[in-house]
Every structure is written in structure tokens, then in C-alpha cells.
Amino acid sequence: MRIKRDNFRGLRAIGAAISVLTLAACATSALNASAEPDGQSTLPALINDGFEGESALKFDWPMLEIGTGQYEDGPTGLTVLKFGKKVNAAVDARGGGPGTVNAEYLKLGYTQPELDAIVLSGGSWYGLEAATAVNTALLDDGYRGGHWNNVGLVVGSIIYDFGGRRLNEIYPDKRLAQLALRAAKPGVFPNGAFGAGRSAMNGGIFGCNARSGQGSAFRQVGDVKIAVFTVVNALGAVTDRDGNVVACHKGTNWPETLKASDLMGAAPASLQPDWNGDKDTQEFERKNTTISVVVTNRTMSPAELQRLAVQVHTSMARGIQPFASEFDGDVLYAVSTNEVEAGPGVNLPSMEIGVAASELMWDAILAAVPPQQVTQPKADPDLVIPSSTLREYVGTYKFSDFASLTVRLEDGNLVAEASGARDVFQITKAGPRRLLAAMQDVFTVDRGRYPFSVKFTGDTVIVNPGRWQQIGHRVGHE
């Protein structure tokens, strides 16, 4: 078909116009990109926190290196387990919502050692970036390459640590993961609210909403070494060997010594916010996952590794009740570093390693729960604070794009109300709530099931001061 000259000129004009618009769009895009904020790139990174603490596990195993990274502004974090050479591994996924990278590959059961590292991370599925970041760091650092028999392999799993437990959506990212990898060292693992377990919780199915973390345990029998690691962000409650619930913000009229059997036996009633007359209906934490690793230096076949993963993972239902629910994403990796020979009459049989590792995993679960929990100060009804001081605390404090707290002075008392898209723990969007003075700069609310307090300092407010505090910055005065 021939195009008339006039039509051709018209088409050329249209094409030129489109080119101009395209260039303009590209220029606008570039301007917007340059104007975008740095996001998480300026967040202070805390590396290997807790390595020198009393709760840290110390063990002798040069083959296994650990590094952790945390963004305390979250708080959130990740944990890297790096092996000194490629190792064999298997995976067992139990929960209803697992989030993994490269786990499916392990299910193929190849005999060739291929795994370099395991990454456990907060940040839900956004945190999966951490696993691929560790792998690219292995390439960038020259540890691995592009040849078919030298490509790096890293697997990873995540926990959900957003929601009602913090007032932001900071997640472990590429920068944090690579810093943790490059700082990894052998023989130490921090137990408690560190690394991937920085904002972990447990017991949400019963409304316990207790702080949790990551835990570990180690044992050597002859030449055989066994180490286990877990990040306990469980829907179920952590339970000790006597059947006691280890940590729980109890409801009204709950027994002083709380047994897991008390809660499990009373289900489904015990799963409701108002069970046993409780009136504090703050949202339960019901997006959960426990991610775990068991490592041995004994050589194992793919079938033995898979059975080890299943055996140890199954045993965890004793220490976490209930376990592997629809709202969990439980995953366990079993690893053999192939340093110790296997065979009839040589070292521990794989089944016995499974028994020992199962008991160690219960120890690790218990070690994950930090001794300190969030507490609530007692209001002092006799404390008199001048109105001039109270007025210094008035204003709107911003925690994130979706969470703000507005503080006002009404009839000589401070009141607070959530003014963003979401509630600020016990301070909701439903209406103002009176703040009760505990100290000159610390206030609380009528005691409920969950602790709450705020501390004013300059142009900031600290909610629940301490290990899991949330900091808001004043953006306006009332």
C-alpha cells in the first residue's frame, strides 16, 4: 500500500511529537529519581550485636561462620550462616505460609555439595532480598564465580515481623545482608532478640504476644558435632519441659503458673480476645513463622539429611504449642559439612544424631526467649506536673508514613490519639485516651493486658522505652 506524501508528512510529525514526549518523560523520570529519598540507605546498621553478651552461645567449629545485621530503627534484622566450603543440605517445610529462596532446589536431593550459606531474615517476603544479596556478595568478593561448577548457592527463609509489633515497615535489605556476611565469624551465636529474631514474637494464637528471638545449642559426641539454630516467631506458645508457658502477657483471671495444656485444652474459647472475661482486645499477632537450621559435621546421604530434617522439625511441636499451623511458615534446613566419616560402626548413626539434635532444638527454642519483656510503669496519682511542662509535650509525633501520635492538653491532663492510618498500640484512632503520669517525662495508660508507656524527650516521643522501643519525631504543635 502506498502512503500519500501529505499522510507521510503527518506521520513524521506524529513520530517527532512522540519522540519529544518520550524524551520529556525520560527527563521527568530522571528528575523524579534524583529527587527520591534515600530510603533505607542512611539507616544505621548494627552488626554482630550480642556476640560479646552473656547469652551468646560459644562453640568450636571453624567450618561454620555466623554474622548478624540489625536496623535498630525497625527494629528488624537478619542472620547469616556461612560454611567454609560447599555443603549438602535438605529442607522440610511445615507451615502454611513459608517464604523461601532456592529451597525447592534442595528437594532434588543431589549428592554433590553445593550450598554456601543460609540466610534467616525478618521483613516478611521483602526480606528475601537478603538471601540473593549474600549470593551476589560471594560473587563480588571473588569467593564464587560464573563457571558452572563454581556458582554460589544461598538459601533463605523469612519471618513476618511487621504488623502490630512495630510502627514502621523497615526491612532487612541488600546492604545489611552483605555487611553481615562480610563480618561473619566462627564459634559464636547471639541468643535472644538479635539478628533475624530482633522483633520476633510468640504465643499470638492465645494473645500472649510475648517477645521472642533467635536461639541456638551445640553438642559434640566424640568427633561428631551438632549445632542447631532457630528463629522463634511462632503462632504457638514457647513451652518448657515441664509444660509451662515460658512468656505470656496473660489475660484477666489467668493462672499464675500457666500451662500450655490449659490453653490448648480450652481451645477454641482460649483463642478469642475476650476469653475468661478479658476486655483488652488489642490485635493478636497471628502472622508467624519459625525458621530453623540443624548442622552436623558427619557425612550424610541426601536421604539421611531429609530424614534428619523431618525428625528434628517434628520434635519442635513439644517446645512450641501449637506448631506448624496454617498461619505459620515453618521451615527447617538440615546440613552436613561432610567433615567426619560415616559408615557401620563409625561415629553416631544418623538416627541417633536426630535424637540428640531434637533435644538440642528444644534448648534452642527456650534460649530464643529473652528474659526481659516489655513492662509498664505504675502511674503515680500524687505526682503533680506543672502545666508549663505538660505543654512542652503537646504536638503530633510521626513514626512512619502510616503511624502518628497526636498529644493534646485537655482540662489540665495530657491526652493522646492515633492520628495516622493505624493505631499506635493502645492509643487508637477511635478517640483520645488520657495519659497518666508515672514520672515527670514518662506516662502510661490504665493498665490492660499489654504494657504501654511513653517518654517525652525534646522533640521526640519514645513508645515502650527499652529493647523494642518505637521513636516518633515531632512534626507539628497543637
- pLDDT 10s digits, 220-251: 999 999 999 999 999 999 999 999 999 999 98
pLDDT at residue 38 tops 90: no
Pick the closest to residue 399 from 451, 448, 443, 464 (CA basis): 464
pLDDT at residue 285 tops 70: no
The burial of 265, by beta-carbon neighbours within 10 Å (0-12 exposed, 13-18 middle, 19 or more buried), is given as exposed
Q: Is the dihedral of CA 218, 316, 199, 43 positive or negative?
A: positive
Cell numbers 535472644 label which residue?
192
Domain 387-476 of CATH type 2.40.128.50: yes
pLDDT at residue 23 tops 50: no
The burial of 248, by beta-carbon neighbours within 10 Å (0-12 exposed, 13-18 middle, 19 or more buried), is given as buried
304-329 mean pLDDT? 97
Query: What is the per-residue pLDDT for 268?
Result: 86
3-state secondary structure of 86: strand
Pick the closest to residue 130 from 178, 97, 84, 169 (CA basis): 178
Q: Which residue type does 477 have?
A: H
Q: How confident is the model at residue 349 (pLDDT cuts 50, 70, 90)?
A: confident
Decide which of 185 and 18 is more confident. Answer: 185
| Whole-angstrom distance, CA of residue 48 vs CA of residue 57 | 13
3-state secondary structure of 356: helix
Q: Which residue type does 18 have?
A: I
Pick the closest to residue 366 from 209, 243, 223, 184 (CA basis): 243
Active site residue 136: no
Query: What is the per-residue pLDDT for 347?
Result: 77
Domain 46-368 of CATH type 3.60.70.12: yes
Q: What is the DSSP letter of 205?
A: G
Cell numbers 563480588 label which residue?
140
Query: What is the per-residue pLDDT for 328?
Result: 94
Query: What is the per-residue pLDDT for 252?
Result: 83
pLDDT at residue 295 tops 50: yes
Set 76, 100, 289, 296: catalytic member: 289
